[in-house]
Amino acid sequence: MYFPLSWSGRQYLILEGYPGDTYSVPFSVSRYEPIDLTRSASVQAKTTTALIVQTKSGMVRGNSLGATRVQALAPELRLEKLTYQSVAEAAQAKRKFEQSRATAYVEYDTPIEAFGADAFKKHQWSLLNTGQKKGVKGADIGLTAMQKRIAKKKQTTTLVAVIDSGVNPSYADFAGKVRMDLGYDFVNRSKTAWDDHGHGSHVAGVIAAGSDNTYGMTGINAKASIIPIKVLDENGAGYTSDLVSGINHAVKKGAKVINLSLGGDTSSKSVESALSYAKSKNVLIVAASGNAGKKTVAYPARSKYVFSVGATGRTDKRASFSNYGTGLDLVAPGVEIPSYLADGEIAFASGTSMAAPHVAAVASVLYSLKPTIKASDVESFLKKSAKDLGTKGYDTTYGYGRLNADQAASYIK
């Protein structure tokens, strides 16, 4: 039997039997910390038999070249997904599309994957680092100071799209915070973006879990509402075509901030089109830099339309797994971050996937304080307010520095 850490009172074990029966019931009482998901299994790569085709403006695509299914991804961007029966048929169709004057570009639908007074508040070093577990005091995002700064200011609700594996909205900490009515499941083509993996719920918890309600943990923005958009399946894997649809959906539903704790190595023209469209609508896109420890930021984080976030640990040093390099904008805590899984358990997870929602959440706070603010100004405030780490000034290891929520909020007048 397992009981939550917030459990208090007596626990009883009821046994049924007959007079004279004897029982031997071994037991132990332990206080477990959250599950550690730092070492998660790698996602199996998906093969693709599908293409994404953009038709040139004012032109009409001739035919589908034998596609078994044609799906409109983003009509505004003239993007379609065409699925074929085999890899060979897809390759043959791709060559023919490349030769067509009506084609702006064609690419494979490539795989993407997930990158990684409350009972657990004391474990949330990213919000308040007192030096616990050999950390450095103050190596946190300054949440307490920010909360004091904005306590008497008017805040409006800000929509944050979590494009991920979905969200489980049933937790008490998510009550009234997850807009399932605005979300969508592009994996199963369902109106309900339910999380069957856990990654999306973990990300959403960092952003918007209820605070000081004894349920589990503390989210960064009490005024954030989550739009759950599912593009990753139960294994944390997905395709760029669904990511394109997810970004487009988030813009249509009014998201001010989009969190992308996912990606891969391969750039995508169709994703670039969707990101460009989102930015043109004054939406801030925050993306994780990747977990391969490479000197190359993953995609879509390295896109010029995206605010890229790497991860730091308890001592304000770059996490060993965190990708860095040209295009990195900021770093934020991403090591041993507690939040929810799909089944309601709280687990520690490490990754740039955990760093990105810290930034997305603070960005949403700035929007909530000033709804008319431009995305470009939010980016500017996040950069100017960051705590400089590493080489003085901007560098490719820490970008403009580590997220500083309180200083960022100080720019909102």
Exposed, middle or buried, 147 (CB in 10 Å: 0-12/13-18/19+)? middle
What is the pLDDT confidence band of residue 48, given thresholds at 50, 70 and 90?
Answer: confident
pLDDT average, residue stretch 340-350: 72
Choosing from 211, 273, 353, 364, which is the catalytic residue? Answer: 353
Collapsing DSSP to helix, strand or coil, 390 comes out as: coil
Q: Are residues 399 and 300 in the same domain?
A: yes
40 DSSP assignment: P
Per-residue pLDDT at 121: 40
Kindly tell me if the per-residue pLDDT of 326 is higher than 90: yes
Q: Total structural domains in the chain?
A: 2
Choosing from 199, 202, 249, 358, which is the catalytic residue? Answer: 199
pLDDT average, residue stretch 260-286: 95
Q: Which of 109, 126, 146 is the last residue of a domain?
A: 109
Per-residue pLDDT at 31: 35
Please choose, from the candidates 293, 310, 292, the residue with its C-alpha nearest in 3D space to the C-alpha of residue 301: 310
Per-residue pLDDT at 21: 63
What is the pLDDT confidence band of residue 389, given thresholds at 50, 70 and 90?
Answer: very high
Per-residue pLDDT at 127: 61
Residue 25 domain flag? no
Q: Are residues 192 and 263 in the same domain?
A: yes
pLDDT average, residue stretch 18-26: 58
Per-residue pLDDT at 150: 80
- pLDDT, tens digit, 9 for 90 and up, residues 244-256: 999 999 999 999 9
Distance separating alpha carbons of residues 168 and 294, to the nearest angstrom: 32
Contact residues for 155 (Cβ-Cβ < 8 A; gap 6+): 222, 223, 365, 368, 369
Residue 237 domain flag? yes
Name the percent of the chain lying above pLDDT 90. Answer: 61
The parent domain of residue 88 ranges over 50-109
Kindly tell me if the per-residue pLDDT of 5 is higher than 60: no
Cα atoms in the 13 Å half-sphere on the side-chain side of 258: 35
Give the CA distances from residue 124 to residues 210, 253, 333, in Å, rounded to whole numbers and listed in that order: 14, 31, 10
Kindly tell me if the per-residue pLDDT of 194 is higher than 60: yes
Q: Assign residue 346 the CATH number of its domain.
A: 3.40.50.200
Per-residue pLDDT at 252: 97
Determine contact, residues 382/360, Cβ cutoff 8 Å.
Answer: no
Q: Assign residue 85 the CATH number of its domain.
A: 3.30.70
Per-residue pLDDT at 54: 96
Residue 297 domain flag? yes
Active-site annotation holds for 123: no
Determine contact, residues 191/222, Cβ cutoff 8 Å.
Answer: no
Choosing from 164, 173, 195, 316, which is the catalytic residue? Answer: 164
Active-site annotation holds for 316: no
Active-site annotation holds for 201: no
What is the pLDDT confidence band of residue 27, given thresholds at 50, 70 and 90?
Answer: very low
Q: Are residues 55 and 192 in the same domain?
A: no
Kindly tell me if the per-residue pLDDT of 217 is higher than 70: no
CA–chain centroid gap for 30, Å, is 32
Cα atoms in the 13 Å half-sphere on the side-chain side of 120: 26
Q: Are residues 71 and 132 in the same domain?
A: no
Which residue has tokens 């009172």?
9
Q: Are residues 70 and 175 in the same domain?
A: no
- pLDDT, tens digit, 9 for 90 and up, residues 97-149: 999 999 999 999 998 888 753 333 445 666 667 777 777 787 776 767 777 78
Give the CA distances from residue 408 to residues 115, 387, 391, 398, in Å, rounded to whole numbers and listed in that order: 26, 10, 21, 17
Kindly tell me if the per-residue pLDDT of 26 is higher than 60: no
Residue 33 domain flag? no
Give the CA distances from residue 270 to residues 46, 154, 266, 289, in Å, rounded to whole numbers and listed in that order: 18, 39, 12, 19
Of 20 and 332, which is predicted with more confidence?
Answer: 332
The mean pLDDT value of the chain amounts to: 84
Paired tokens of 45: 């790569």
Of 126 and 9, which is predicted with more confidence?
Answer: 126
Per-residue pLDDT at 203: 92
